[in-house]
Amino acid sequence: MNNHYPIKKIIKRDGSIVAYNLTRISNAILKATASTGTPNQKLADNMAAKVENALASTYSIETMPSVEDIQDVVESVLMESRLTRVARNYIIYRHQRAMARAARAYSFEVTDNVPYKKLYEVLRWNMDHSCDSIQSLNKLIKSGNFPELVAETDKRYLGEIKLAADRIIENIGNIRIVIIAGPSSSGKTTTTIKLSEQLAKAGIGFKAINIDNYFFDLEKHPKDEFGDYDYERPQSLDLELINKHLIQLLDGKPVKTPHYDFKAGIRRLDIHDLSLQKDELLLIDSLHGLYDGMTNSIPSHKKFKLYIETLGQFRSKDGTLMRWSDNRLLRRMIRDKDHRNLKPMQTLTHWHYVRRSELKNIIPYIKATDCIINSALPYELPVLKPRLFKYISQGINSYRDDPKRLDAHIRANRIYELLKHIESVKDISCIPPDSLLREFIGGSRYRY
């Protein structure tokens, strides 16, 4: 059986789908060779062909790669071909392109509520609190100031939630639904709980609806060639039933919501009673809360949209910024293992579904949000390392020679290189029971 598929489409950073172009890969590699002082078109073309072959071995027609995925594979192929100088120059070129995009976005952020202004705020906060790099974080841990970092970080996070609550309270006459959305393992559930606490203090009544209970039975989701279920799409949810219930609730009619058993992968209908009073808000905590089809039955002026993401600005030993998605992957590996009957390696190999869905169904809607909250916790990596490092090492060894798992191998190797230099923190007594991190490592006072 031929498991190689021609790459015809790719996913851009803004979530749009465009035609695949091998020449763009070759040109990028050519620029990297030129930086060594010896431009080599033949070498660039050969390396581009190897990249294309690796992509065709890894991705199917349904699982098209993103620009980010392609760049990862280019780096991997160059390193495996022992073109160390070219690989280093390509990484520099990639970084410069990223900085150029950021520079363009900063000027846009002056008046618009998009993540880039937030990134600057996060970076300044991290620098002010000596937690913007591995070197500074390790120094802080060795000096015994880790508990203080935990306290300051949680204080900052809660402060952002309070600001969001204030904006909701100011518009309480119009808003009926508050949506807390964001990518997987960004901390939506804890944020929803803490936001509800702030609303309660202001005397505002509310009810929460659990959108996870609207998943279709797992067996109804499509499988890939590995037998993995793709349940990351918004269409994995019963959108029609969600909208029906939203209309009924806002009309003052009681509903019976379903219940979903994640370990069994089965949904039961008409289980939980839910009703909404005229002066109450409805809170929606959902991965796809910004997706139009989730709440298109409700007028936009009745909705307040809050977006949450791990917008960390944390530099590795070589100065590279940690990817937000890698931060969330570590959180999800723990959560899936403890609550969803999935082994960490299953989460690692399934992550390409997560990223594909985020690029298609979450990122394109970010600009429609009313508020953005950063859920990255500078103290979490030293805590996550001793819980997950062995699994990351396992991922490197397990998928080293498996072209179908190239994305998992690249991701595991990247996280391994980051974590191996970070000081581990095993005593977590300084992390309070209401910390967002407790949503993933356990010991929370909240019920999830």
pLDDT in tens, the chain (448 residues): 345 668 888 888 766 788 999 999 999 999 999 988 889 999 999 999 999 999 888 887 667 888 888 988 998 899 899 998 898 888 877 767 766 665 554 433 423 334 667 888 899 899 999 999 999 999 999 999 999 999 999 999 999 999 999 999 988 889 999 999 999 999 999 999 999 999 999 999 999 999 999 999 988 876 666 666 767 788 889 999 999 999 999 999 999 999 999 888 899 999 999 999 999 999 999 989 999 899 999 999 999 999 999 999 999 988 889 999 999 999 999 998 887 778 999 999 989 888 888 888 887 788 788 889 999 999 999 999 999 999 999 999 899 888 889 999 999 999 999 999 999 999 999 999 999 999 999 999 998 8
Question: Rounded to an integer, what distance in angstroms lies between the CA atom of residue 407 and that of residue 190?
Answer: 30
Does the domain at residues 112-441 carry the CATH identifier 3.10.20.30?
Answer: no
First vs last Cα of the chain: how many Å apart?
44
Write down the pLDDT at residue 350.
87
For the beta carbon of residue 72, count every other beta carbon within 10 angstroms: 20
Backbone angles phi, psi at 243, to 5 degrees: -65, -40
Give yes or no for a contact between 100 and 107, defined as CB atoms under 8 angstroms apart. no
Which helix (H) or strand (E) is 116 found in, with range?
A: helix 115-128
Q: Where are the domains of the chain?
A: 1-110, 112-441
Give yes or no for a contact between 11 and 360, defined as CB atoms under 8 angstroms apart. yes
Q: What is the DSSP string of 25-58?
A: HHHHHHHHHHTTT---HHHHHHHHHHHHHHHHHH
Beta bridge partners of 178: 283, 304
Tokens standing for residue 188: 């939506």
Amino acid code (one letter) for 52: E
Amino acid code (one letter) for 286: S
Write down the pLDDT at residue 128.
92
Residues 6+ apart with CB under 8 A from 66: 10, 11, 12, 13, 355, 356, 359
How many residues are listed for the chain in this entry? 448
Give yes or no for a contact between 347 and 270, defined as CB atoms under 8 angstroms apart. no
Write down the pLDDT at residue 145.
97
Residue 271, classed as helix, strand or coil, is: strand
Write down the pLDDT at residue 115.
60
Q: What's the pTM?
A: 0.76
Question: Rounded to an integer, what distance in angstroms lies between the CA atom of residue 201 and that of residue 284?
Answer: 19
Write down the pLDDT at residue 285.
92
Question: Rounded to an integer, what distance in angstroms lies between the CA atom of residue 283 and that of residue 266?
Answer: 24
